Amino acid sequence: MHKSDLDKIIRVDHAGELGAKWIYEGQLRWIKDPVIKSEIQHMYDQEMHHLNYFETLMRDRQVRPTALMPVWKWFGKTVGAVSAVLGTKAAMACTEAVEDVIDEHYAEQIKTLEQHRPNELDLIQTLKTFREDECNHRDAAAGYNHDPSVAKQIVKKIIKVGVKAAIKISKRI
């Protein structure tokens, strides 16, 4: 594995955690229910911890951030705000969809690193911990939303396609 491939991993994860921060910020601004708010606040706090880790790592290893930061910021805040304005169920469906993709994304990275960079023990262990956090977010969100409707499936599908595209683009740009 080339250094530039490792840089891509760090860059895309940093972009993703930033995206998560902005989505949750967008939601926190618009969600009224105090119980839901504190649930989202808890997720947000964990995302900030994830984000700080990648910011430090980028500085230490001199990896540049994605050039698309302003685009992702607009995108994340809009997705967060729109989902929250639509209500708790939509907000939680959004989290469920996003974290589902992130779960797979981290799993893939962990596998790649274990194969090609087994000496990156700290990074691998951290990704495992973060992945668990993301799965907990997904499961908590799913607990608020058992709606089996076609509308929910469509919304989730659209969000997933969007997140997957963002991951692909952020690796390169």
Interface residues with Fe ion (CB under 5 A)? 17, 20, 47, 50, 134, 137
Residue nearest to Fe ion (CB): 50
The CA distance from 79 to 26, in Å, is 7
The CA distance from 56 to 157, in Å, is 33
Considering beta carbons, is residue 102 or 113 the nearer one to Fe ion?
102
Considering beta carbons, is residue 7 or 133 the nearer one to Fe ion?
133
CB of 19 to Fe ion, least distance (A): 9
CB of 2 to Fe ion, least distance (A): 26
Considering beta carbons, is residue 50 or 156 the nearer one to Fe ion?
50
The CA distance from 61 to 132, in Å, is 25
Considering beta carbons, is residue 51 or 81 the nearer one to Fe ion?
51
Q: How far is CA 86 from CA 17, 46, 106, 110, 147, in A?
A: 23, 24, 29, 35, 14
CB of 77 to Fe ion, least distance (A): 16
Q: How far apart are the first and last CA of the chain?
A: 19
